[in-house]
Structure 1
Amino acid sequence: MRFPLNLLAATAAVVTFATASFAGDQYVDPTGFAVSGYDVVAYFDLEQSPVGTSQPAAVPGDKDITAEYNGAVFAFSSEANRDRFVANPAAYAPQYDGHCAYGVAQGGKVPANPNLWRIVDGKLYLNITKNVVGFWEEDISGNLSKSENNWVSIESAAASDRAIPQFSSSAPVN
């Protein structure tokens, strides 16, 4: 059966807009940037520390090197990183719209600290406090399973409006 081209285009548009309307908001703190202005592409170039140890510090972005995605402005440390992001933003943006991965596992949206991160299976996850990182890392795969199940029902809820506890962003630079 052949479908008229305009019917296929209309169906694609409806699916696109319907999907966008169900997406949740990216967490943006008082800096006005996603991930507090840190460069999300740079995480993938840092050497990841073993579970149970602190990760290297996140790389601050530059307020003049930005791109928009998921209703938020992301800052980057270089134009090359911005270009990598623009080519495939879903590959670099943090999971759960930048909210704490353990918070999502527990059924809610809370902010995440950009210096408390881990890449698992090529995806960036953030957490809120060092104590929470410990809970999350006790069972990463189990917590990710819970997060994925919970995210379906909370994704469309508004982004957290809470501040990240005991965190002061040094990003974006310049």
Structure 2
Amino acid sequence: MKVKYFATLAISSMLMFGAVAVRQSFSTAQANPCAAEVNPCASANPCASINPCASANPCASANPCASANPCASANPCAGADAAQGAAPVVYSDASGLAIRGVDPVAYFTESAPVAGSSQFEYEWKGATWRFSSAENRSLFASNPEAYAPQYGGYCAQAVSEGNLASVDPTAWRIVDGKLYLNYSMEVQQQWLADVPGHIAQADANWPEVLNVGIVHE
């Protein structure tokens, strides 16, 4: 009888403990409807751990992360990628110069990269193009597309891979009347391994690749 009594007592205690736990859990859920969601915006908000949206109550709605950026006004880190935006159509260095100031026309007329002069400049597609002579500047101004490097002057090999990179003006090649530049002489060797294939792939990626936004310098 004692064994049966103690067994019954033990079962009753377990049931009471479970009931208390359930009541406590239910009470906590009522007090904090978001308690079960430790960080509802964690995947979309890298700053969620410091609670940048506390005043805005990110748990007010059933799905506070439904929008792309529910706390944009209160979250200094929100939308960092969006703010980055697309890269410029034409690559230019820190000084705003296309092809690092090299004359694009000279590649065709002199078969060599020739430094341009600040005396002969032309603004086109958001970049400053320099030329070694007034004549070259006039040639470019009359038909920029004929002399400007392909893919906005970004590395041809990088564009073929779906990336954006700066260029070395000495790593150049004219193919079928079009100027192609590459990041370095080493990278150009990779590009030269399959010129038709790389051009075809880069053509397919351009200009959507600009949305990558990040340019490898």
Q: How high is the TM-score relative to the length of structure 2?
A: 0.57
Instruction: Give every structure 1 segment of 4 or more consecutive aligned residues whose post-TM-superposition deviation is greater than 2 Å.
Output: 22-25, 155-160
Residues 1:94 and 2:158 aligned together = no
Partner of 1:27: 91
Kindly provide the amino acid, as one letter, of the partner of residue 92 in structure 2. V
Letter in 1 for 2:96: G
Structure 2 Cα separation of the partners of residues 145 and 86 of structure 1: 28
5+ long unaligned stretches in structure 2: 1-85
Give the whole-Å Cα distance in 2 for the aligned partners of 1:140 and 1:30: 30
**1:50-89 residue pairs with structure 2 within 5 A?**
56=112, 58-89=113-144
For residue 155 of structure 1, give the secondary structure of its aligned residue in structure 2. helix
Alpha-carbon RMSD: 1.9
What does residue range 13-162 of structure 1 map to in structure 2 within 5 Å?
24-47=88-111, 56=112, 58-156=113-211, 158=213, 160=215, 162=216
Instruction: Report how far residue 159 of structure 1 moved.
Output: 7.0
Rg larger for:
2
Deviation of the 1:150 alpha carbon: 1.2
| Offset, 1:152 | 3.8
Q: Percent of aligned positions with the same letter in both sequences?
A: 40
> In the alignment, is the contact (CA less than 8 A) between 1:25 and 1:159 conserved in 2?
no
Q: Residue 127 of structure 1 contacts residue 133 of structure 1 at CA under 8 Å; is this kept in 2?
A: yes
Q: TM-score with structure 1 length normalisation?
A: 0.70
* Cα displacement (A) at 1:23: 9.2
* Alpha-carbon shift at residue 27 of structure 1 (Å): 0.9
Tell me the number of residue pairs that the alignment of Structure 1 and Structure 2 aligns: 132
Higher relative contact order (CA 8 A, sep 6+): 1
Unaligned stretches of 5+ residues in structure 1? 1-21, 48-55, 164-174
